[in-house]
Amino acid sequence: MHAPADRPFGTTLLRTSLHAEGRVLQIELDHGRANEMGSAALDDWERITQGVACSEICAVVTTSSRRSPKGTPLFVSGADVTERVGWTDAQVKTHVRRQRRVLADLRALPAFHVAVVHGVALGWGTELLICCDYKLCTPEARFGLPETGLGILPGAGGSSELWALIGPAQALRLGMTGEQIGAEEALRIGLVQEQHADLATANARAHALAALAATRSPTALAAFKEALLGSVGAPGLERSEREARAYERCVDSGDAARGRAAFKQIQEGQTPAWGPRAPR
| Tens of pLDDT, residues 82-110 | 899 999 999 999 999 999 999 999 999 99
Are the C-beta atoms of 73 and 140 separated by less than 8 Å?
A: yes
Same domain, 81 and 138: yes
pTM of the model: 0.94
Query: What is the CATH classification number for the domain harbouring 67?
Result: 3.90.226.10
Distance CA 148, CA 233 (A): 28
User: Into how many domains does the chain fold?
Assistant: 2
Distance CA 83, CA 74 (A): 20
- Own/partner contacts of 201-205, CB < 8 Å, gap of 24 or more, are 202/63, 202/116, 202/118, 202/136, 202/137, 202/138, 203/61, 203/63, 203/116, 205/136
Q: What is the mean pLDDT of residues 216-240?
A: 96
Same domain, 161 and 228: no
Q: How far does Cα 88 stand from its chain's mean position?
A: 31
**Residue 272 domain-assigned?**
no
- How crowded is the C-beta side of 39, counted as CA atoms within 13 Å? 8
| Tens of pLDDT, residues 2-39 | 444 578 888 999 999 999 999 999 999 998 889 999 99
* Structural domain boundaries, residue 175: 15-214
